[in-house]
A and B are shown apart, each in its own frame.
Chain A
Amino acid sequence: MKLSGAEIFIECLKREGVKTVFALPGGVVLKIFDMLHQQKDLEVILTRHEQGAGHMAEGYAKATGKAGVCLVTSGPGMTNVITALADAYMDSVPVVCFSGQVPTHLIGNDAFQEADNVGLSRPCTKYNFLVKDVNDLAATIKEAFYIATTGRPGPVLVDIPKDVSQNMAEFAYPNSVSIRGYNPTYDGNKWQIKQAADAIAKAKKPILYVGGGVVFSGASQELLELAEMTQIPVDMTLMGLGVFPGEHQLSLGMLGMHGTYQANMAMHYSDLVIAVGARFDDRVTGKVSEFCPHAKVIHIDIDPTSIRKNIHVDVPIVGDCKTVLRELNQILRATVNGDQKDLRKPWWDQIHQWRQAHPLTYQQEKDGPIKPQHVVKRLYELTRDRDPIVSTDVGQHQMWAAQYFKLAQPNRWLTSGGLGTMGFGFPAAMGAQAAFRDRLVLCIAGDGSVQMNMQEMATAVVSKLPVKIIILNNGFHGMVRQWQDLFYNGRYASSDLGTTPDFVKLAEAYGAVGLRANKVAMLDEVLKQALATEGPVIVDVPTYPYENCYPMIPAGGCNHEMILEDPPELKKKQSGAQKVTPEDKDTVLTA
């Protein structure tokens, strides 16, 4: 039987196990929407902006480990979704994006709402396709899902011209895919794994540096076994949070620019770095020439380009974390002997000293302004036994969330690391909520970031996605203000947001619930109320506007040279500071 391209599209998605499509219609995709409207297997969530659709697909993918799917129209629909594709590309998120295109005979003619979708998305997708013939559609969609979800995951675009969605073809879904230029390596080289095991046996001050690759690979169990068997401390990247239990005694927390003191010191002074699914990003290495000066480096990564991109590697292992760690554990199980706790004691004594010297800390006065860290900590404590999924936007609040919200499991943490996309948090949370309707999904947002995709509140209300947004409202682009305080002499160029909008009223305008916690004493009560509310909620928490996020390694600095608190001049300035209006700000703060 012959099916239209639009019907083929739907059949393919069903066979890929897709349940939800985040979408916004337009002229050239109307046939597809028309067919979607007449079926029951796929849920269509209508977003208010294509960027929202893209981030929702990302949130869905990160929470489920499966590809997230979005569907947009040609021209502006496509250009709007680009930010989300670039975000997914940087953070290796499996997303399959379908875009509409003008009819094949008009391509290249500057037709109405035409854009070169393949050209636009080339640098920010893992691969992309323009389907010119309906007979190729099914095989193309199969390849798209295969490429997005295998090897190092990433976004894939399938561009479908209007006539292709209307034309008829015999439907046959291929069972398998074979692409001669694409064969990801899953099994690590045995000899290299043996080298790694030898190095681990010899090391006195080893450290595990684990990242997003462990999430994609589903290798948390193997990681836990390795760490416990060898008593090696674990540093997590921002993208790796949750792959190792945050409260585990072997966890040192996050490393890098805003990582913990012990995580960065342990990294700097280690004699063996075991990098697992992490890519030595500059937020982690700091100054490359002085990165881990005493260490040998083992690097396990499925993407050969990640290896030796930034840092010299002694034992490179191309392969999947899970497969490689299994093999490594097997060797170590047979060779590790003696009590590892005893063996590692001097190293752990040193780490405990670091931990005690500079733990994460903040000062919350009973009647003083609410400290943002306190909000995250309380939120964590109030929700930990509900195993929530947590998303963040980008900025200081993101870093505090990373420091204080300790996750026990992977796929619970949705954040934009590589691109650092403000506006990611809320739609990503909605995507996760769409996948898990009954779970608690929290979005820890900044007052700046959340406004970048606020329109999706309409989607949350209409599509019943009861995300709880907690806005750490400091009235600033806080992260920018922090840099201005530290490196630009306190001149707040375009970082002051004022106090608009009223987020409570804004929530209400959308038909959601808005709550506010002004005082420390009412924080718990308000948070509990939000958690007990059925639909989407915004909790607006005005926080101390001048709080800075520490530790901090200045860009390009060395990992063992952290700024741990406000420099004295800054403290003095802030002790007298009120949140001030833009006009008199300079006079007050630089006085």
Chain B
Amino acid sequence: MEHIISVTVENKFGVLSRVAGLFSGRGFNIESLSVAPTLDPSMSQMTIVTSGDERIIEQIVKQLNKLIDVIKVVDLNETEFVSRETAIIKVHTKDADRAEALRIVDIFRANVIDSTPSTYTIEVSGDPKKIEAIINLLQPLGIKDLVRTGRVAVAREPIRQAVTQTKKVARE
């Protein structure tokens, strides 16, 4: 099953490779990983989308916690969360297609962030299904370039508190 794991790490040289190395070395799946500094510049926030059965996810969470540069691990699937992904899509637009492209942009509340006589560059945010959907619609026009950020996610507030696993308390 797919899990989104939110990992707070030291904002230090080499931390990304420790996390990535853990996943590759132990044969855990990584579907996407995004990382950026938090409000506190000494920490970074990673959002990792992974998958596995219960035992594997338990190992992933424990192994992440075991990394010395990891400060906090939250398996967001244990709570309610909201997640977003952004895609930037460059589409070819022949004259006849330009109106159609804008219509699609409109439907998905996407934005055109750059345009030339023969292309539009479109930015869209949402859950992965929405991104898939707009890609499907734009594909017939001819997609020239596509980049996706991978998902970021955060627990919903205050419906239920996330079950966090901080390292200060015994986890069992």
Contacts and interface: CB of A to CB of B under 8 A. Distances in A.
Interface string B131-172: 000000000000000000000000000000000000111111
Interface stretch (A175-183, A246-254, A386-394, A422-430): A175-183
Nearest to A316: B172
Contacts of B55: 308
Given A305-B59, A308-B55, A318 B68 contact: no
Contact of A187 (B18, B63, B71, B170): B170
Interface in A125-145: 126-127, 130
A181 B172 contact: no
Interface stretch (A60-68, A115-123, A212-220, A519-527): A115-123
A317 interface: yes
Interface string A308-319: 110000001111
A179 B68 contact: yes
Contacts of B65: 304
Given A118-B14, A122-B21, A308-B55, A181 B171 contact: no
A119 B170 contact: no
Interface residues of B, number: 26
Nearest to A310: B55
B66 A305 contact: yes
A309 B9 CA distance: 24
B70 A181 contact: yes
A305 B18 CA distance: 17
B58 interface: yes
Interface string A203-242: 0000000000000000000000000000000000000000
B172 A307 contact: yes
B7 to A, nearest CB: 11
Interface string A177-194: 001111101011100100
A304 B62 contact: yes
Interface in A265-320: 303-305, 307-309, 316-319
A305 B170 contact: no
A180 B67 CA distance: 11
B58 A127 contact: no
A225 B32 CA distance: 51
Dominant secondary structure at the B interface: mixed
Interface residues of A, number: 28
6 contacts: A181-B68, A189-B170, A303-B66, A304-B172, A305-B62, A317-B172
Among B9, B59, B68, B171, chain A packs the most CB atoms within 10 A around the CB of B68
A147 interface: yes
Interface in B1-54: 9-10, 13-14, 17-18, 21, 25
B78 interface: no
Contacts of B9: 181
B69 interface: yes
B17 A119 contact: yes
A519 to B, nearest CB: 51
Nearest 7 interchain pairs by C-beta: A316-B172, A305-B62, A182-B68, A181-B71, A185-B170, A304-B62, A318-B172
B18 A122 contact: yes
B170 A319 contact: yes
Nearest to A299: B172
A317 B55 CA distance: 17
A37 to B, nearest CB: 33
B35 to A, nearest CB: 16
B33 to A, nearest CB: 17
Contacts of A317: 172
B86 to A, nearest CB: 29
A183 to B, nearest CB: 5
Contacts of B168: 183
Given A304-B65, A304-B66, A316-B172, A309 B17 contact: no
Contacts of B172: 189, 192, 304, 307, 316-318
Contacts of A185: 169-171
B171 to A, nearest CB: 5
Contacts of B17: 119, 122
Give the residue among A185, A303, A316 with the most B Cβ atoms within 10 A.
A185
Nearest to A189: B170
Contacts of A130: 13-14
Chain B CB within 10 A, most for which of A123, A181, A305, A317: A181
A265 to B, nearest CB: 28
Interface in B59-106: 59, 62-63, 65-71
A118 B13 CA distance: 11
A309 B28 CA distance: 13
B46 to A, nearest CB: 13
A102 B68 CA distance: 26
Contacts of B66: 303-305
B5 to A, nearest CB: 15
Contacts of B67: 181
A188 B68 contact: no
Given A118-B14, A317-B172, A309 B167 contact: no
Interface in B110-141: none
A192 B170 CA distance: 11
Nearest to A124: B25
B41 to A, nearest CB: 15
Nearest to A123: B25
Contacts of B14: 118, 122, 130
Contacts of B59: 305, 308-309
Interface in A146-186: 147, 179-183, 185
Given A181-B167, A317-B172, 4 more contacts: A180-B71, A181-B70, A192-B172, A304-B62
Contacts of A188: 170
A91 B168 CA distance: 25
Nearest to B55: A308
Counting chain B CB atoms within 10 Å of each CB, which of A123, A127, A305 scores highest? A305
A130 B10 CA distance: 16
